[in-house]
Structure 1
Amino acid sequence: MVSSSENNYQPVKNSPTKLDKFLVCGLGSLGQHCVAILKEYGAIVNAIDLEQPQNLQIPNLLNLLENLFFGDCRQASVLEQADISQCRTIILATGNERVNIEAAFAARLLNPQVRLVIRSDKKNLNQLLSQTLGNFIAFEPNQISASGFAVAALGDEHIGYFQVEEHQFRVVKHQIQMHDPWCNQLHIHELNTQNLRVLYHTYDASVLPKEFHQWEPERKLRPDDTIIYIEVKEQFQSLKKVAIKPQRNWQQLWQEIVLGRVWKNFQQQIPSWRRKLHTYQSLRVAIICGLTVIFLWCIGTIIYILNYPHSNVVEAFYGTAVLLLGGYGDLFGGINFQTPPEPAQHMPGWLRLFSLALTLTGIGFVGVLYALLTDVLLSSRFQFFKSYQPLIPVKNHVVLIGLNRVGQRVAALLEKFKQPVVGISSTGLGIDFFHKIPVIIDSITDALGKVNLANSKSVVVVTDDDMENLEIALMVHAQSPTTRVIIRTYDRNFRDNVARLFPYAQVICTSAISAEVFVAAAFGENILSLFNFDTQSILVVEYTIEVGDTLNGLLLAEVAYGYGVVPILYQNFKRSPVKLMPSDNIQLTVGDRLIVLANTNSLQRIERGEMFNKTWQVEIEKALAEDAIFDGANEISIISGCSIGTARKLMDNLPGQLPKALYKQQALRLVRRLSKLRVTARLKPFSDN
């Protein structure tokens, strides 16, 4: 574990001074949580609401506020009274989208520089307003929380799942087993590659660290250890590539025929064809009629050619077709009792009778084909209006209860994950939704008996009523005690109480999760995604390094271990190709792009420029080769960030100590690199002396 002394902070000397006053409009569940988190950042918070908040989910809410004003946040006078001109950001979190947007207009007119963070689900309008108003961002709590419910429903080892551009990331929690290739073989730091980074490690799965990098790099993985890591998959590029099947030449085909492979494959397909024919009676009739018509077509053509050898084969073929389609009168003319029609003067009687039989048989069989085709067309037409839906999964599926906006969003994400899902709703839905997943519209009690609950993977309850969600969760547990249950709530106190009383249920507070995103955006961060981990939210945050930024000029090692974040993507300001899981040696400069995993505490430290103290020092003992002195100096400069002159001076006067303190994982990495260059070094606690 990292030494406790590292938890002391040291401020960044050139951290920028910014306005720390924020305004929150609407003190519902979301607004209250925004106020609480803003105070954790050390901000000054004013609020506007129409009336005194009745349901206080944050017990000391009024004490957290600098001032509380009552009125309509769309009115300029109310905003001026709330000191909008001195605010860095206004968070518009009322439950009415129109009120939020109109208040954003009023705030922009009064303060052209204020950042606008609003609650809105109108995606297209939000994009247009962002382009027009500038310094504007909008979120919808339902969309923010949906990914958390979907990933929780997957269960197993999945914790998070998100996408950055064409890169797909997955966060996995894995308990080491004896048969794992990692077990007793690798040190933890050896797991880190260009496609994987270790986030957490613990000996006890029930007790997980609250910060990243709280693991010993040199420790070997043992059975029952738990690690959490993030990995990247380049799947979107590969999916676009069409697999080209190798062409089979005639020699290969002939060999397959000789060896009997074609016949064996044909024999293997016969039972499946029989089952299909037995299942679809109409198809059986159509095949019989079709084969009969083709047989008569061929027989008729042959008979006419044999009886009229000087005739054209094509004419015989088409003549038979005309007879089968009921064209006897077209070929042999109308009824004439005086003399035979011209085409039939020299035709034998039996052949005329055969032609008539062809016509009568063709009318019958072709008529059946017409009838079947008409039936298929009408059935498909009426099927469009019927509430047709896929079959209910038998096992390893997710039961989704409550198909409101959150539920439908969760269903869409689960479909994207290729996870079987069945929905339950007590009210009717749009017909389009029935074609996506199987849906049961019934009372919850009756519907639970129809979804194969005992064999399900998990049950997600996302109705709009907290108490109904709890009631359903208890019903599910009573019927299937081993099934995982995920419950939606708006109240953080309700979440905490239910989680303690019913440990089998995972309770997700929509407002608490969404508030972390709103507040992070209020400080100017670009939030790309988030996922839940051990009662805390992990945000995927994008930074663009600016002049005076607390990240400017730092090595990625200092960013990672100093602020407690995990860099997962880096791109140079010249728009060079992105680097996934970038090296700790990269130094940030103005214009660089960086995406990290961070929790709320990490974002607060970055905002205030408070880094963990560096408490370790590297002592260089000796170099075992002449060239090791030169290479070792380069490595020291690259990993520690000290000047190359300082590093060369140290290597020329061994033994000696690196005058710059490092973070523990950074220092251990330097020792390992020096060892490969045949330079002996060791770690020791940092001393100012």
Structure 2
Amino acid sequence: MKLNRFLVCGLGSLGQHCVLALQQFGVKIVAIEQVAPQSWEVPNLVNLLDDLIIGDCRENNVLAQAQIQACRAALIVTSNEGVNAEIALAIRQLNPQTRLVVRSAKTNLNRLLSQQLGNFIAYEPIELPAHSFAIAALGTDTVGFFNLDGYWLRVVRQRMSPDHPWCNARRLHEINTRSQKLLAHNGSATDLGFYQWPFEELVTAGDVVTYIELADRFSLHATPDRPIAAGKKTKQPQIARWARQAADRFMRFWRSNFQQQVHRVALICCLIVIVLLAIATVLFHQYHPNTTWVSAFYASAILLLGGYGDLFGDFEQISMIPWWLQTFALVLSLAGTAFVGVLYAVLTESLLSSKFQFVKQRPPVPQQNHIIIVGLGRVGQQVALLLQQFKQAVVGVTLQPDINSTLLPDLPIITGNIAQSLAQANLPTAKSVIIVTDDEMLNLEVALMVQSIDPQLDLIIRTSGQRLSQHLTKTLPTARVLGMHTVSAEVFAGAAFGENILNLFHSDRQTILVTEYAIESGDTLDRLLLAEVAYGYGVVPILHQRNSHPETLMPTDDILLANGDRLVVLATTESLRRIDIGDRHPKFWYVEVELAMTAESTFEGANIIGRISGCSLRIARDLMENLPGILNVPLYQHQAQRLVYALEKVRVKAKIRPIDPIAQRLSLI
């Protein structure tokens, strides 16, 4: 019998959320915290604990007080990675079997500890939610996108349009193929399982269908652009379009901050110098005898550079040039000294601020259909890297004025005042905004600012506290509020049961975990058909591998699991809990076989019954040779309907029937 006691070391924000996640599994939870906090981030946390111990997790006597010998797993989630490593070593000395789930970002150390200690897994809580933020910001039908054994899989939530190929042409069960599987229909609740959809119902316009498919890695790039403004597009001459684009660029340049107003002054000075140079060239050519345009231009340039003495330095009277032109030349020289001096100052400041580093210039800010990331800390950087892998146009906004030039060199970055930075980032034409600074109040301020500018914009907000997440969800119902530690805690809790959480995504406000199982003799998955795993535990198998054989994506329900098999499923925390304790949903349906059209139908029908139901071939042949009859093997509803559908293909007439009237009421179809 499996132990039912779990230890949480460290009750910071992540530790408290781990307790909350473990509580959903109905297990006994013991926690160790060095100092009792004055208040809890998770309300009534103490009531969720079977025991709270105040002490140092690294001390053997404290671990003994927590009954570490009886603990199935230990979640080591303090904020100090060095302390976490010490705790892991101390626990392993006291209990060689306890599952160790550690908070750590040191990849090499984690690998070495895993080899040395065994039954050890480590996660970086900063990296875990980054994938959720990146997917949420895509602003497309994609709600999940991850790599599995070199294959890219995409989870799509799509509303059916009348011209969609599936509309009025395909039944829901026919969406399941060798490259895709149906997850939900019209928002069927995932906490009840993934199979709350009518098997035979036709796909119609307006239906919302969620499915997972084998996808090209860069298929996310082919999304429709968001229009800049409403209205019909009209054809314009090329010159007029260039002029409008030039004017738009000038206005963006003029509104930009540059961190200093002196840059605008420099622009004005440059324009004045050009105007003075043109006027002086014309005057000298007009009123100085025997001069050429080139000579007039050079003389004007010399005066602007302070060279009045070079041209009019003699004490002798210059009768060839009118007195007023000589006075204008003096004014020109003084003006040039002032205005050209400003240009020299700006150039010097630019050279000094660059610290003489010749670095690659960042790309320009995208004009439309891009994603704005506010906050370029560790989370923001991870999100930016993921979005760039997805071939999305991204721009970063940060309040730090001195950004490292080597940080994300391929990402356009805007610094300075947040309001001006958002305008400079082309907020009105953006696809979505991700707000992931470390300051929750700043995240709230920016979210409200963006909401006031464009209420229709996709908004993704990072939070840490549970209360703030709940308040924001109610205040900004269209925004997606993702709690950093809430998402991470679900992964830590799932991993505590011995499973490997490969990835996660959110669908219909549920966290879906991509979970890997290694089938062992005698566990709750051994010797089960994939149909029994899928419908019994409410998970979606997406990969199966037997020993050293090649993996199979989107496996059929007819595979019988055995010791040594590898299985990857989509699951909720409720599904993981059911698998852990072997709590499968009951089977409520029989299949009644009425008629086989031919002898070949009889033969093939028996094979199909044995394969899909899992019964012995002898039972299947006895049934087909004594028709009509009922297959006395209970089945799940989708399993039974799939059997009837397969029998119809070989000309065997059959139907499903409930075991008792209660099943009819329990069915969601």
Offset at 1:493?
A: 2.3
Q: How has the CA–CA distance of structure 1 residues 680 and 497 changed in structure 2, closer, same or farther, with 3 Å as cutoff?
A: same
Instruction: Give the match for residue 636 of structure 2.
Output: 663
Offset at 1:430?
A: 2.3
For 1:482-561, list aligned pairs within 5 A: 482-561=456-535
Instruction: Give the match for residue 367 of structure 1.
Output: none
Amino acid at match of 1:151: I
Q: Equivalent pairs: percent with the same residue?
A: 49
* C-alpha RMSD over aligned residues: 2.1
Conservation of the 8 A alpha-carbon contact between 2:540 and 2:570: yes
Conservation of the 8 A alpha-carbon contact between 2:18 and 2:489: yes
Q: Deviations over 1:512-555 (max 9, x none)?
A: 11111001111100111111122221011111110111011110
- Secondary structure of 1:661's counterpart equals strand
User: 2:399 matched to 1:426?
Assistant: yes
For 1:560-599, list aligned pairs within 5 A: 560-573=534-547, 575-599=548-572
Instruction: Give the match for residue 9 of structure 1.
Output: none
Conservation of the 8 A alpha-carbon contact between 1:454 and 1:480: yes
Distance 1:444 1:431 in 2: 20
Offset at 1:617?
A: 1.0
Offset at 1:53?
A: 2.9
Distance 1:387 1:642 in 2: 66
User: 2:74 matched to 1:90?
Assistant: yes
Which segments of 5 or more consecutive residues in structure 2 lack a partner in the other structure? Answer: 219-350, 663-669
User: 2:446 matched to 1:464?
Assistant: no
Q: 2:36 aligns with which of 38, 52, 57?
A: 52
For 1:114-513, list aligned pairs within 5 A: 114-202=98-186, 210-233=192-215, 384-386=357-359, 388-427=361-400, 428-513=402-487
Conservation of the 8 A alpha-carbon contact between 1:200 and 1:209: no
Instruction: Give the match for residue 589 of structure 2.
Output: 616
Q: Deviations over 1:42-77 (max 9, x none)?
A: 211110001223342322211111111111111222
Conservation of the 8 A alpha-carbon contact between 1:571 and 1:577: yes
Q: How has the CA–CA distance of structure 1 residues 209 and 85 changed in structure 2, closer, same or farther, with 3 Å as cutoff?
A: closer
Q: TM-score, normalised by structure 2?
A: 0.77
Amino acid at match of 2:82: R
Conservation of the 8 A alpha-carbon contact between 2:191 and 2:574: no
Conservation of the 8 A alpha-carbon contact between 1:388 and 1:434: no
Q: How has the CA–CA distance of structure 1 residues 525 and 70 changed in structure 2, closer, same or farther, with 3 Å as cutoff?
A: same
Q: How has the CA–CA distance of structure 1 residues 383 and 630 changed in structure 2, closer, same or farther, with 3 Å as cutoff?
A: farther
Q: How has the CA–CA distance of structure 1 residues 450 and 55 changed in structure 2, closer, same or farther, with 3 Å as cutoff?
A: farther
- Secondary structure of 2:158's counterpart equals strand
Distance 1:145 1:557 in 2: 31
Conservation of the 8 A alpha-carbon contact between 2:512 and 2:572: yes
Offset at 1:159?
A: 0.2
Q: Deviations over 1:181-236 (max 9, x none)?
A: 1100110111111110000001xx69877520111121000110000000013669
Instruction: Give the match for residue 331 of structure 1.
Output: none
Q: Deviations over 1:321-358 (max 9, x none)?
A: xxxxxxxxxxxxxxxxxxxxxxxxxxxxxxxxxxxxxx
Distance 1:210 1:431 in 2: 49
Offset at 1:562?
A: 0.5
Q: TM-score, normalised by structure 1?
A: 0.74
- How many residue pairs get aligned? The number is 529
Distance 1:565 1:540 in 2: 10
Offset at 1:41?
A: 1.2
Q: 1:103 aligns with which of 81, 87, 91?
A: 87
- Secondary structure of 2:452's counterpart equals helix
Conservation of the 8 A alpha-carbon contact between 1:28 and 1:53: no
Offset at 1:443?
A: 2.2
- Secondary structure of 2:592's counterpart equals strand
Conservation of the 8 A alpha-carbon contact between 1:389 and 1:434: no
Amino acid at match of 1:493: R
Distance 2:613 2:539 in 1: 18
Instruction: Give the match for residue 620 of structure 2.
Output: 647
Conservation of the 8 A alpha-carbon contact between 1:539 and 1:599: yes
Conservation of the 8 A alpha-carbon contact between 1:93 and 1:118: yes
Q: Deviations over 1:432-472 (max 9, x none)?
A: 11522011111212211211000000000001122211111
Amino acid at match of 2:564: G
Conservation of the 8 A alpha-carbon contact between 2:130 and 2:382: yes
Q: How has the CA–CA distance of structure 1 residues 383 and 640 changed in structure 2, closer, same or farther, with 3 Å as cutoff?
A: farther
Amino acid at match of 1:36: L
User: 2:25 matched to 1:25?
Assistant: no
Q: Deviations over 1:630-680 (max 9, x none)?
A: 211111111000111111111111111110111111111110111111111
Amino acid at match of 1:212: F
Amino acid at match of 2:152: Q
Distance 1:488 1:550 in 2: 37
Amino acid at match of 2:139: G
Q: How has the CA–CA distance of structure 1 residues 55 and 396 changed in structure 2, closer, same or farther, with 3 Å as cutoff?
A: farther
- Secondary structure of 1:124's counterpart equals helix
Offset at 1:394?
A: 0.5
Instruction: Give the match for residue 301 of structure 2.
Output: none
Amino acid at match of 1:220: L
- Secondary structure of 1:396's counterpart equals coil
Distance 2:189 2:85 in 1: 44
Distance 2:157 2:424 in 1: 32
